[in-house]
Amino acid sequence: MSEAVHHDPLIALVGNPNSGKTALFNALTGARQKVANYPGVTVEKKIGHVMTPAGRRAAVVDLPGTYSLRARSPDEEVTRDFVLGRLAGEAPPDVIVCVADATNLRLMLRLLLELKQVGRPVVLALNMYDIAQRQGIRIDIEGMSRELGIPIVTTVAVRKRGLAEVLGEVDRLVGAEAADVKWREPSAEEIRAAHRDAVRIHKLYVKPPLRPDTWTGRLDAALLHPVGGTLILLVILFLMFQAVFSWATPAMDLIGAGFTWTGNLLMQVMPPGLLRSFLVDGLISGVGSVVVFLPQILTLFFFIILLEDLGYMARAAFLMDKMMGAAGLHGRAFIPLLSSFACAIPGIMAARVIDNRRDRFATILAAPLTTCSARIPVYTLIISAFIPNREVWGFANLQGLVMFGLYATGILGALTVATVIRRIFWRGASEPFLIELPAYKVPDPKNILRGLVQRGEIFLRRAGTIILSMMILVWFLSSFPAAPAAAAGPAINYSLAGILGHAIAPVLAPIGFSWQMTLALIPGLAAREVAVGVLGTVYAISDAGHGATLASTLAGHWSLASALSFLAWYIFAPQCASTLGVVKRETNSWKWPAIMFCYMITLAYIASFATYHIAAALGAG
Amino acid sequence: MRELFASLTDGDGALPAGAALSGAFVTDEPHTRLGAMRRGAKGVIVGIAARPGRAHVIDAHELERRLLEMGFVEGAHVEILHEGPIGRDPIAVKLDDTRIALRRDDANAIIIAAGKGAQAE
């Protein structure tokens, strides 16, 4: 294709994991990026736009990190097929930018040799070049460029250095003759040969560091210490949960007060009637009680992104591998499971890093049991209504402790389910645990902020679309048909919601659920946190209890045993249609979400039944 | 050569000293498997001999390729940096200038010439 490129040139970023590929992508595209999915697969597609020095508008794609084009997971398949131009619905890249950690070139050079066989123009970006310079690594860029036959530029993505140079090379290479694809899956001997070649090039053009990074070794001595390291990991996890509770509170109070104020204002300025009821009881009370949990979700993601960028996640996987292995899972399953603490949906999608199908499916099936952030609103509400806020043992907060217990039960549940699957249904067959422990890096605040904004947007979009429509549906169900004029008791008893709640109630009565609780579960299927909004709506409408907080309303209506039973239900129940949907997509079959739904609802019923009856027997009924 | 390694590594524990191995990286040092090494032990890789069976679904050939791709290649220097908290498993290995974590069971596929003599370039 010697003719000029008429479409916007397409740049593909390829590199090892931890090469700073995503940092370079962020530096190049800034806010002009979006996250979508590749058609047919669920691998996240990050695409952005950039202006080259020659004035071309180029599209940049951040491909999943890989050590080789020999794909071992769906993510790596996307990378391979994309660079080979084989991915359905995607144009082949005009230029491949191979992003390398300048302090860690050896493995990347072998990948680069593979990329050269693809036949498309390649630029090598030596990223984190400032760190390489600080360590005194001397790289003969000219010599290496001549040897490899490709242009090399140096970049410092987090400082936005070298971006124009990368794009300048892209300008020069766009429209260059694309050679034939010579790449095919290499044999072990070919990998050995390529590695020898890479080592030879590395020896010739890269002089070892004068001042090697000693921090990583020193930190690892503590963080990977068999006893100390494990304790530090537990402290970090404990701190995460406490932070989610205490740090987020002021912001939550502020948001909560804002929504209450708006509701009260509307109550004053608007005449009573259907519209006011809709705005105050449907819209504001529903969305408000969901948005109020944004601070907690952001706090949790702050920790997850921070630990990821720090390079600690791989260490956590190292420390947890044996425990995960005991449950028949791969050490890498720790990362999807940890992500599931924020939300099972990214967690289930993150399970794609596990190559083996059975390991992956076992992780997916277990993931929804870890406590996702959508459960936090439910947990917080019930805990604040029923568990006294006082100190125990001089340092811990009783409410925080109960929360910790709920998390622990979720983790144990997930591990038990995984064990049962891997040890009983699918015995044997585990995947090698083989991960790089990257050098520790000081996280880039901008990157953390970008990640937080992205997560916040995703949460708010859910709150704004699914949840809002659910809230309006619930308001409708709770308001129509209107109660007869001579009605006794709350109007909601006569509504569609009341009829529905009453219909299902007998099934859930043995586990201590009232019809209001049952009613909250139905729209709660759209998203777990919706249950809080529904309870708000149901009780706000039935009691007109404005001013009183929902928690104190619940404390007046529910027994402690029912409340604990409700918590137990939320640990296990498949209360999230989106999770089932994403499992269907990830496993490409309705069989797995069906299995997941059945096992979860069975566990939930048993757990709630036991909790309710034990608590009632102990006098909490 | 792979078959030879496989026959040498059927049992547990170190290989016999001076085991008859052909190839560029043979030394007089005793050979052992990476999975049998303790924290602080150093050596040079002399071969990859993934054995079929064990707990894996991936075949020996696939494990060999994965190890190669992560840089476990004949001639590479290794040092055991850390051992996991439970059962000293997995291990963190300094592999030339990278750090890789893997389980001892998989590390057993990697044959090491251990000791001082193996340190010489």
d(CA A455, CA A462): 11
Q: Which of chain B's residues have a Cβ under 8 Å away from the Cβ of A195?
A: 68, 71, 73
* Interface residue B86 vs chain A (CB under 8 A): yes
* Interface residue B82 vs chain A (CB under 8 A): yes
| Mean pLDDT over each residue of chain B, to the nearest integer | 75
What is the reported pLDDT for A37?
Answer: 61
Q: Which residue of B has its CA nearest to A72?
A: B66
Residue B69 has pLDDT above 80, yes or no: yes
For A483, list phi and psi in degrees, rounded to 5: -70, 145
Strands A44-51, A33-37: pairing is: antiparallel
Place A301 in a pLDDT band, splitting at 50, 70 and 90.
confident
Question: Do A296 and A244 meet the contact criterion of CB atoms below 8 Å apart?
Answer: yes
- Closest Cβ opposite residue A436 in set B68, B87, B99: B99
- Closest Cβ opposite residue B68 in set A106, A192, A227: A192
In chain B, the domains with their CATH numbers are: 2-113 (2.30.30.90)
What is the reported pLDDT for A470?
Answer: 66
Name the token pair of A451.
């990640």
Q: Which of B46, B61, B97, B102 should one mutate to test binding to chain A, selecting the residue with the greatest count of A CBs within 10 A?
A: B97
Residue A487 has pLDDT above 70, yes or no: no
* DSSP class per residue in A494-543: GSHHHHHHHHHHHHHGGGT--HHHHHHHHHHTT-TTHHHHHHHHHHHHHH
Residue B23 has pLDDT above 70, yes or no: no
Q: What is the pLDDT of residues A338-362, one digit of tens each?
A: 778 777 776 787 777 676 778 888 9
* DSSP class per residue in A434-488: EEE-PPP-PPPHHHHHHHHHHHHHHHHHHIIIIIHHHHHHHHHHHHSSPPPTT--
Name the token pair of B55.
């707990």
Beta-carbon contacts below 8 Å between A and B: 126
- SS3 at position A355: coil
Residue A71 has pLDDT above 70, yes or no: yes
- Closest Cβ opposite residue B97 in set A68, A104, A356: A104
- Residue type for A539, please? Y
d(CA A12, CA A27): 15
Residue A87 has pLDDT above 60, yes or no: yes
Interval A189-218 mean pLDDT? 92
Nearest chain A Cα distance for residue B111, angstroms? 15
Cβ <8 Å between A226 and B67: no
Q: Which residue of B has its CA nearest to A226?
A: B85
Place A194 in a pLDDT band, splitting at 50, 70 and 90.
very high
**Rounded to 10 degrees, what is the CA torsion of A133, A134, A135, A140?**
10
Question: Do A455 and A301 meet the contact criterion of CB atoms below 8 Å apart?
Answer: yes
Question: Do B101 and B93 meet the contact criterion of CB atoms below 8 Å apart?
Answer: yes
- SS3 at position A150: coil
Question: Do A141 and A182 meet the contact criterion of CB atoms below 8 Å apart?
Answer: no
What is the reported pLDDT for A413?
Answer: 92
Place A589 in a pLDDT band, splitting at 50, 70 and 90.
confident
Cβ <8 Å between A220 and B92: yes
d(CA A109, CA A82): 20
- SS3 at position A154: strand
Select the highest-mean-pLDDT range: A223-232, A290-299, A385-394, A539-548.
A223-232
What is the reported pLDDT for A22?
Answer: 87
Cβ <8 Å between A191 and B69: yes
Q: What is the pLDDT of residues A119-144, one digit of tens each?
A: 899 999 999 999 999 999 999 999 99
- Percent share of chain A, pLDDT over 70: 88
Q: Which residue of B has its CA nearest to A426?
A: B57
First vs last C-alpha separation in chain B: 23
Of the candidates A500, A553, A499, A541, the residue with the CA atom closest to the CA atom of residue A522: A500
Nearest chain B Cα distance for residue A583, angstroms? 23
Nearest chain A Cα distance for residue B28, angstroms? 23
Q: Which of A76, A234, A312, A434 should one mutate to test binding to chain B, selecting the residue with the greatest count of B CBs within 10 A?
A: A434
Q: Which of chain B's residues have a Cβ under 8 Å away from the Cβ of A67?
A: 69-70
Query: Does the structure's ipTM exceed the value 0.85?
Result: no
- SS3 at position B113: strand
What is the reported pLDDT for A529?
Answer: 73
Interval A3-11 mean pLDDT? 71
Place A52 in a pLDDT band, splitting at 50, 70 and 90.
very high
Cβ <8 Å between A224 and B100: no
Integer CA distances (angstroms), B78 to A386, A406, B92, in order: 56, 43, 10
d(CA A593, CA B23): 52
Cβ <8 Å between B86 and A317: no
What is the reported pLDDT for B6?
Answer: 42
Q: Which residues pair with A156 in a beta bridge?
A: A161
Helix axes A515-524, A468-479, angle to 10 degrees: 140
What is the reported pLDDT for B17?
Answer: 41
Q: Which of chain B's residues have a Cβ under 8 Å away from the Cβ of A326?
A: 86
Place A565 in a pLDDT band, splitting at 50, 70 and 90.
very high
Q: What is the pTM of this model?
A: 0.77
Nearest chain A Cα distance for residue B119, angstroms? 17
CB atoms within 10 A of CB A386: 21
User: Residue A259, Cα to own-chain centre: how many angstroms?
Assistant: 28
What is the reported pLDDT for A293?
Answer: 66
What is the reported pLDDT for A290?
Answer: 65
Integer Rg of chain B from CA? 13
Q: What is the pLDDT of residues A242-264, one digit of tens each?
A: 776 677 778 878 888 888 888 88
Cβ <8 Å between B106 and A433: yes
Name the token pair of B81.
């940096």
Q: What are the E-state strand segments in chain B?
A: 31-33, 42-48, 77-86, 89-95, 98-102, 110-114
Cβ <8 Å between A433 and B90: yes
Cβ <8 Å between A72 and B66: yes
When mean pLDDT is compared across A28-37, A407-416, B21-30, the lowest value belongs to B21-30
- Assign residue A489 a region: left if phi > 0, alpha if psi is -120 to 50, beta otherwise? left
Q: What is the pLDDT of residues A503-558, one digit of tens each?
A: 888 999 999 998 888 878 877 776 677 788 778 767 765 554 444 577 888 888 88
Strands A206-207, B42-48: pairing is: unpaired
Q: Going by C-beta distance under 8 Å and a sequence separation of 6 or more, which residues neighbour residue A345?
A: A578, A579, A582
CB atoms within 10 A of CB A405: 12
Residue B4 has pLDDT above 70, yes or no: no
Q: Which of chain A's residues have a Cβ under 8 Å away from the Cβ of B98?
A: 104, 106-107, 436
Q: Going by C-beta distance under 8 Å and a sequence separation of 6 or more, which residues neighbour residue A9?
A: A52, A56, A58, A59, A94, A95, A170, A174
For A593, list phi and psi in degrees, rounded to 5: -60, -30
**Rounded to 10 degrees, what is the CA torsion of A71, A77, A78, A82?**
70
Cβ <8 Å between B98 and A208: no
When mean pLDDT is compared across A134-143, A284-293, A565-574, the lowest value belongs to A284-293
**Rounded to 10 degrees, what is the CA torsion of A254, A256, A261, A264?**
-170
Question: Do A137 and A58 meet the contact criterion of CB atoms below 8 Å apart?
Answer: no
Cβ <8 Å between A321 and B103: yes
Cβ <8 Å between A433 and B102: yes
Residue A223 has pLDDT above 90, yes or no: yes
Helix axes A591-615, A560-572, angle to 10 degrees: 160
Cβ <8 Å between A430 and B55: yes
Dihedral of alpha carbons A311, A313, A319, A325, sign = negative
Strands A396-397, A391-392: pairing is: antiparallel
d(CA A262, CA A258): 6
- Residue type for A258, please? G
Q: What is the pLDDT of residues A38-50, one digit of tens each?
A: 665 556 778 899 9
Cβ <8 Å between B100 and A428: no
What is the reported pLDDT for A527?
Answer: 66
Select the highest-mean-pLDDT range: A75-79, A128-132, A290-294, B112-116.
A128-132
- Closest Cβ opposite residue A437 in set B71, B73, B92: B92
* Interface residue B121 vs chain A (CB under 8 A): no
Place B81 in a pLDDT band, splitting at 50, 70 and 90.
very high
Q: How many CA atoms lie within 13 A of B17 on its CB side?
A: 3
